[in-house]
Chain A
Amino acid sequence: MPLYHNEDQAMLADTARGFIAEEGNIAKQLRHWRDRNCKDGFGHGLWKQMAEMGFTGMLVEEADGGLGMGHVEAGIVLEEIGRNLTPSPFLTSSVLAATALKHGSDDLKGRYLPGLIAGDSVFAVAIDETAKHRPSRIATRAEKSGNGFKLSGSKSFVIYGGSADMIVVAARTSGADDDADGITLFAVPKDVAGLSHDHVRLVDSSMATHTRLDGVELDGDAVIGEIDGGRAVLDAMLLAGRVGAAAEGVGVARGAMDMTVDYLKQRKQFGKLIGEFQALQHRASHLYSEVEIARAVTIKAQQLLDGGSAHADLMASVAKAKVAKTARLAVQEGVQMHGGIGMTDEYDIGLYMKRDRALAEFLGDAHFHAGRVAELSGY
């Protein structure tokens, strides 16, 4: 398969680009909700519109009412979300939770997928328990209780956890905290007794929660996949999420780069456009080169994932690490080349810097994934 978008995908990219630039732009979404101190941190209206476009259920199988598309297509939408810094539950709901639900029972699918597809529901995922992403260690416990389970523990960095109608929670049903086996995934509905949140606004104005599970009682039918066999589902969900986050990061990097290159063509100092200075030209050219490479490996990871390749896991970590480093470069060069106004809230470039920071941390930063590349490669 050639490493570029086919005709259908190119058409989707055109549609997504136009739609998100129009409806999901920074003024209409990010600044709008931030300046109103919105408790959700995103707009439900846009979520509904995205459902009408078919985006929210694009990864859901056609048999389950979705579009049955792949991660190349999801990545197209995510790149535009990244470029416009659109606050959206797309990654957590339509990519992460939707991937977990693929492994769920028909009953679970019937309970949650129609709401996702219609844009009426929002989902979150609760994986991390400390300040760094470390999914190899799951301490949250789920003990057998009657016909179901009782969950106890705490989760952090649950993006949109406070707005979610359902949270996918990774808990331990057996074994020690660091064991690979003994994990079970649960679909935890909101408003269940014992579930509580500390709401926190993050640096990029997105909303997250520290979530406590104090003896949350769930029926056995809340289990996604196999009891004690949840690691496979968790891994599949993380893989999809990381490839998706990489695509969003490519959008952040491209958005920051485009804005910066435009600025180099407008700002005058010493009697000329600052883009005429070779010192800045070379830095911009280097950035372009890195962004192209980051985008290429992200599409590669998407294709491998869609093709069910055994290499997808490695390439997902390569992509996540490469994009994290590249987007970091893009936003830092962006602010620096904008000079003083780059530090002001009025200009958007600083918003890119904040978003990059939060997005790179989500599902493992560049260090985590470079380390993972080494481990998967056998050193």
Chain B
Amino acid sequence: MADLEQFRTETRAWLEANCPPEMREPVRGEDDIYWGGRRATFKNDAQKAWLEACIAKGYTVPMWPKAYGGAGLSAPEAKVLREEMGRINARPPLSSFGIWMLGPALLHFGTEGQKLRFLNEIARGEIRWCQGYSEPGSGSDLVSLQTFGEDKGDHWVVNGQKIWTSYADHADWIFCLVRTDKADKYQGITFMLFDMASEGVTTKPILLISGSSPFCETFFDNVSVPKSYGDDCPAQVGTINRGWDVAKYLLGHEREMISGADGGERAAAIGAMMKRHAAKLGDELGPLLRAELANFDVDALAYAAMGEKFLDEIKVGKAHPAQPNMMKYAGTELNKRRQELMMAVGGSRSLEWESDATEGGKPAKNWLRTKANSIEGGTSEVMLNVIAKRILDLPGA
């Protein structure tokens, strides 16, 4: 415990010296988030300085081993770092699917060569990854995916189409589920890594009801994927034809992320904030709206406690392996309710799609964005199916 307090003191001093004041402001827009990658540009010098300081210290991925670009922190140390960053509202220096998703998969399934190359690239923000899972005919029934990789000896030739590929138009590389054996549904999928700059890869952004385009359609037309990227560095993660194991492992991480389990108590309750918001608009909360907000806050604060418990239990392996599905289900449904209530409090003001007062329709756009939460990464209905089968052990589920 004394060591941990020592670490806290050091961390606090390090943050004080290295986190620029601009990086202690709340994230206001997409360009406040640094995603990294070959084509990334910094919004300002502070963002660049903060990233470089964190890379040098291993703090873009604090819990990864030092050899792979991390700081090798223990779970309690990482919690201290999070707490200290939270205390000064420090922004994450780097956000990416590489950190959240591919990284954990490589740490679990990757070869040493893959780890040394790809994890370091991710930690330094050099390569921005996207995820190629869903296809037009394979949404909830993901395992029915058809994108095919034909074995040509030293390489595959990949043909097919992915959909809902997050930020594919900004990504450098893709981790992609590709069918390599048409005869076996589950054991015929390979988890492949390849460059989005390869010949035959095209992306097309999808305009959503929220007005933004975070997702793309991604097309593969005779894309040649080499089977190896060098010594001990194959193009597939895990074994050929056993990519479904990797995908399932990763879906757990994704569901955990979307669930907002670590959103913290501060972001949970909205009633008091909504009262102030209403007052700013010259209104006050009616009794039924207040009651709905109170009921929401009860659920939200309770869910925040669940998030804390879930993360505590994950750290020591106490959580049921299917528990992320429950967290994702409850968290996303709650988030939709939150946005519905915020729209109700905002009244006609929140309907504005283009206005300075709403910073370009932020309330409406945020509201619409959350509707995807209970669809992406496995729908609420799929989550309920998984709970029924794996936790409640119901028959035929």
Contacts and interface: CB of A to CB of B under 8 A. Distances in A.
Interface string A301-323: 00000000000001100110110
Nearest to A294: B302
Interface in B359-397: 381, 383-385, 387-388, 391-397
Name which of B293, B302, B306, B309 has the most chain A CB atoms within 10 A of its CB.
Answer: B302
A288 B397 CA distance: 15
A276 interface: yes
Nearest to A319: B302
Given A289-B330, A297-B302, A370-B291, A377 B394 contact: no
Contacts of A374: 271, 290, 293-294, 297
Looking at chain B's contact residues, the main secondary structure is helix
A276 B397 CA distance: 6
Interface stretch (B97-105, B111-119, B311-319): B311-319
A377 B269 contact: yes
B337 interface: no
Contacts of A3: 305, 308-309, 312-313
Contact of A285 (B299, B315, B318, B388): B388
Contacts of B293: 374, 379
A225 to B, nearest CB: 30
Nearest to B296: A370
Contact of A377 (B272, B303, B313): B272
Contacts of A369: 298
B88 interface: no
A370 B298 contact: yes
Given A265-B395, A284-B392, A378 B275 contact: yes
Contacts of B269: 373, 377
Given A265-B394, A276-B396, A286 B302 contact: no
Interface residues of B, number: 44
Nearest to A282: B384
Contacts of A373: 269, 271, 294, 297-298, 301
B309 A379 contact: no
Interface in B12-51: none
Contacts of B285: 379
Name which of B315, B318, B383, B387 has the most chain A CB atoms within 10 A of its CB.
Answer: B387
Looking at chain A's contact residues, the main secondary structure is helix
A257 to B, nearest CB: 9
Interface in A250-309: 261, 264-265, 272-273, 275-276, 278, 281-282, 284-286, 288-290, 292-294, 296-297, 299-300
B394 A284 contact: yes
Contacts of B330: 289-290, 293
12 contacts: A4-B313, A281-B397, A285-B388, A285-B392, A289-B387, A292-B306, A293-B330, A297-B301, A322-B298, A322-B302, A373-B301, A378-B272
Interface of A: 2-4, 261, 264-265, 272-273, 275-276, 278, 281-282, 284-286, 288-290, 292-294, 296-297, 299-300, 314-315, 318-319, 321-322, 325, 366, 369-371, 373-374, 377-379
Given A299-B305, A318-B298, A379-B275, 12 more contacts: A265-B393, A278-B397, A284-B394, A285-B326, A286-B384, A296-B310, A318-B297, A321-B298, A373-B269, A373-B298, A374-B297, A377-B297
